[in-house]
Each structure stands twice: as C-alpha cells, then as structure tokens.
Amino acid sequence: MTGSPRIVVLAGGVGGSRFVLGVRAALRARGIDDTAAALTVVVNTGDDLWLSGVRLQPDVDSITYALAGVNDTERGWGRQGDSERVNHELQEWGAGWPWFTLGDLDLGTHLARTGWLRVGLTPAQVLERMSHRWDLGARLLPMTDAEVDTVVVLQDGSRLHFQEWWTRHRATLAPARFENAGIEAAAPAPGVAEAIAEADAVLIAPSNPVVSIGPILAVPRMREALRATDASVVGVSPIIGGKVVRGMADVCLTAIGVETSASAVAALYGARERDGLLDSWLLAEEDEAAADEVAGLGIRPLVRPLWMTDAARSAALGAAALDAAGV
Ligand code: FO1
C-alpha cells in the first residue's frame, strides 16, 4: 500500500471509544500523523433521544469526548469533572427523566447541537462542526442523518425507548425484540458509503452487537456497502471468556436468540464469503477453543489479547486489527 491507509471503524459507545483510541494510537505508531485523514468512525445513533428539548447523542458524545481526552472514564459516559446544577434544577421542575443525569458541561454540547439542528444543519453537518473544537485525530460520521430510535419491545408488547430500558431498568425487563424505528426511511449519512467503498480496512469495534453495531448494519444500503468494499472486514469480539466485557450485551443477545459466545457473535455477523460481512474475527485467548468453529463459519479466526484495560493494550488491539486487515 502506498500513502496513508484509509480505515473505517463501525462503533458504539464505551467499547467503541476504547477501540477507536487504540486504532488511532496504532496509526500514530506507524508514523501516520494525520490520523484524521486516515480514520473514519461510523457511529451508532440508535441511542439518540430528545430530552428536555435538547438532542442527546450518547455514542457520538462518548467517542468525541474520549478522542478529545475529556471523557469521564469511571462512569463511561459524559464529561470528566462535570457538575449537575442544571440537572438538579430540571428535576425540581419535574422535567426530563429523574433517572437520567444531564451534566452541566454535557448540556453545553446538547444545546450547541440542538441550536444547529434547529437552524437546519443535518446531524452529519453538526457533527462535522462539533469535531473542530478538539483535535480528535479522526473523522466522525453518524450512521445516518435520519432519526432512528432503538425501541425495546417487552414480552407484554409494551415499548420503551432504549435509554429508558437501559438506564432506568438496567436491562432487567426481558425484551422480546429490538426495533429500529424509522430505519426504513434512513440512508447512510453523506460520506459513509464512500468511506467504506474507498477503505483499505473496515473494522467492527467490540461494541454491543445488537444495540450498537446492529442499528448501523440495519441502515438500508449499509450491508451492501460493506459487502462490496475491496477492504478487508475485520471484527473484534465483544465477548471474552464467554462473558460480556461490560454493559448488558448478554441480555440483548439472548433476546435475539444468540448465545453469549465469541463464535455466536461471529456467526451473527456472518462470513463475507457466505452472504455475511466478516473476513476475519479477532477472538480472545480465553476463547481459543472457539477458533475452529469460527473457521467453520468461513471466517478467518485470529486469537489475540482483547482486554483494553489501558491505553497500551488498546493500542496493541488496534494494531492487531490493522494487521488482520493487511494494512
Ligand atoms: N447512563 C446511565 O447509566 N445513567 C445516566 O444517567 C446517563 C446519562 C447520560 C447522559 C448523556 C449521555 O450521553 C449518556 C448518558 N448515559 C447514562 C450513558 C448512556 O445511557 C448509555 O450507556 C449509552 O447510550 C449506551 O451506549
């Protein structure tokens, strides 16, 4: 390959952020200074919502804040050192959701975004504008400009926005299925299909396969774009040692009838040579026994350390994914 490689990462919130940081570090370690030109992140927007009159984009903000180095690493969402004065005032008014915290600095982001949306900018244009504040070293694109809500349909048929199910009920209400409301009318945001078509590598972050990567793949024309690219498509297992690393992805997988295992998630994405998406699948050393099963799916298994417990390990995983894609 001549020149700088072009990498596309499909990502959700926390796992996505750590992985994107790792890929950015791996590119820098290869002498690529202009990582913003090399690295495009297509972000899940199914978690987005309107609350107290402002537009929230949790996964977009988690990745932006992490790349900017201003994220709250302990909570896994929001801004480091944030205060909650406005949130307290909203609670006094009975506005918003009592179980959902809007930090003061975070609210500044939501207000800026909402203002620009209201004067007619598209979500992709707003994100482009917001990306200028910090030197993110990556180009962020929303999966789509359309409003697509992840809706959780419970066993009794009642419907909840994903954020209510996730933060209020901590995924304890058994879901019957997940829906991507509004997805039929959606299209990949401007630049997404082009980035995938021109990529040298497409990496699927170890994010929740059902409610983070699932909505991205459900955008009409997204799968076709991924299947048509000449780039190698490499996925990273979000399951280590048969368990979810964080979050409640196991509940989501169970709801759609998929076992919580590295090979079952690989099968969910499928092999590109068999109408699916993956050329290679990075699975953890703890799951080495599943490698043959992955190979049997028509996907090249690569056993690597997957724990992203610090920046060096994230960078090593980023490098392993780039190596797997041949860049
Ligand atoms: N997660 C919580 O568990 N509790 C919250 O109060 C909360 C507030 C919040 C505000 C802004 C934001 O961008 C994210 C926020 N999150 C909160 C995280 C978020 O609900 C989820 O973890 C993600 O959507 C899943 O990727």
DSSP string computed for 262-280: HHHHHHHH-BGGGTSSBSE
Q: What are the structural domains, with CATH classification, of the chain? A: 7-71+122-147+182-325 (3.40.50.10680)
Separation CA 87–CA 101 (nearest Å): 6
- Return the ∠ at Cα 170 (arms to 257 and 254), rounded to 5°: 5
Q: Which residue lies with its CA nearest to atom 16 of ligand 1?
A: 77
Separation CA 142–CA 106 (nearest Å): 18
Q: Is the CB of 13 under 6 A from ligand 1?
A: yes
Ligand 1 centre and the CA of 77: distance in Å? 6
| Residue 18 DSSP label | H
Cβ 87 vs Cβ 104: under 8 Å: yes
User: pLDDT digit string (tens) for 60-100?
Assistant: 999 999 999 999 999 989 999 999 999 999 999 999 999 99
Cβ 295 vs Cβ 302: under 8 Å: no
Residues of the chain with pLDDT > 90, as a percent, come to 96
Ligand 1 centre and the CA of 102: distance in Å? 9
Ligand 1 centre and the CA of 138: distance in Å? 23
Q: Is the CB of 48 under 6 A from ligand 1?
A: no
Q: Is the CB of 17 under 6 A from ligand 1?
A: no
What is the per-residue pLDDT for 2? 56
Cβ 280 vs Cβ 319: under 8 Å: no
User: pLDDT digit string (tens) for 15-29?
Assistant: 999 999 999 999 999
What is the per-residue pLDDT for 247? 77
Predicted confidence band of residue 1 (pLDDT cuts 50, 70, 90):
low
Q: Relative to the CA of 59, which ligand 1 atom is closest?
A: 26
User: pLDDT digit string (tens) for 145-198?
Assistant: 999 999 999 999 999 999 999 999 999 999 999 999 999 999 999 999 999 999
What is the per-residue pLDDT for 233? 98
Whether the pLDDT of residue 269 is over 90: the answer is yes
Q: What is the DSSP string of 115-174?
A: HHHHTT--HHHHHHHHTTTTT-SSEEEESBSS--EEEEEETTS-EEEHHIIIIISTT-SP
Q: Output the six-digit token pair for 315.
A: 């960078």
For ligand 1, pick from 20, 75, 77, 168 the residue to mutate: most ligand atoms within 8 Å of CB: 77
Q: Cα–chain-centroid distance for residue 277?
A: 16
Q: Name every residue whose Cβ is closer than 8 Å to that of residue 59 and which is 6 or more positions away in sequence.
A: 11, 12, 13, 16, 43, 44, 45, 47, 212
User: pLDDT digit string (tens) for 235-246?
Assistant: 999 999 999 987
Q: Is the CB of 58 under 6 A from ligand 1?
A: yes
For the stretch 30-33, contacts whose Cβ atoms lie closer than 8 Å and that sit 24 or more positions apart, written own/partner, are 30/322, 32/4, 32/5
